[in-house]
Amino acid sequence: MLFEERIAARLELPGAIARDLAVAFGETMTRLSTLPLDAYGRLRYYLISLARETDGCVVVQGLWMQQQLAGLAGCCRATVGRILCELARGGWIRFEKQRISILQPLPEQF
C-alpha cells in the first residue's frame, strides 16, 4: 500500500500532522525572533514569557534548572547562572522553593 493510500484511509491523520507542523513552526519562529538578542536578552525574554502572576507576585513556577533555561536561551549553563546570580544580587529576582519570583521589572540591558 502506498503512503498516500494509507493517509487517505485514516482521515484524521492529515489534520493531526498539519496541527503538529503548525505548532513546530510557531515554536521555531519564536526562537528565531529572539536570535538577534544577546544571551541576557534571550534569557529575559523567556523568563518574562514563562512568568505568571500568582498570589500578587510575578513568578516563574516549577523546578527550572539552569541547563533548561540555557537550552531555551541558546547559551551555556554558566552564562545563565552568572546572569541569574547578578539579577538576584541586584534585587530583581529571588529564588524560592521551585520558583523564581520576579520582584521588579527586569532591566532592558544588562
Q: Are strands 93-96 and 57-61 parallel, antiparallel or unpaired?
A: unpaired
Q: pTM to 2 decimals?
A: 0.65
pLDDT of residue 63: 72
Ordered strands of the 93-96 beta sheet: 52-54, 57-61, 99-102, 93-96
Express as a percent the part of the chain with pLDDT over 90. 31
Express as a percent the part of the chain with pLDDT over 70. 94
Dihedral in degrees, nearest 10, Cα atoms 88, 90, 93, 97:
30
Query: Which CATH code is given to the segment(s) 37-110?
Result: 1.10.10.10
More confident residue, 66 or 87: 87
| The Cα angle at residue 16 between residues 12 and 17, in degrees rounded to 5 | 120
Reference 110, options 18, 45, 16, 19; nearest CA is 45
50 SS3 class: helix
Query: Residue 102: which pLDDT band, with cuts at 50, 70 and 90?
Result: very high
Q: Is the pLDDT of residue 81 over 90?
A: yes
Query: Residue 34: which pLDDT band, with cuts at 50, 70 and 90?
Result: low
Q: What is the distance of C-alpha 71 from the center of its chain?
A: 9
Q: Is the pLDDT of residue 79 over 70?
A: yes
Mean pLDDT of 91-96: 92
Q: Which three cell numbers stand for residue 29?
A: 519562529
Q: Which three cell numbers stand for residue 101?
A: 519570583
Q: Is the pLDDT of residue 36 over 80?
A: no
pLDDT of residue 32: 67
Q: Which three cell numbers stand for residue 4?
A: 498516500
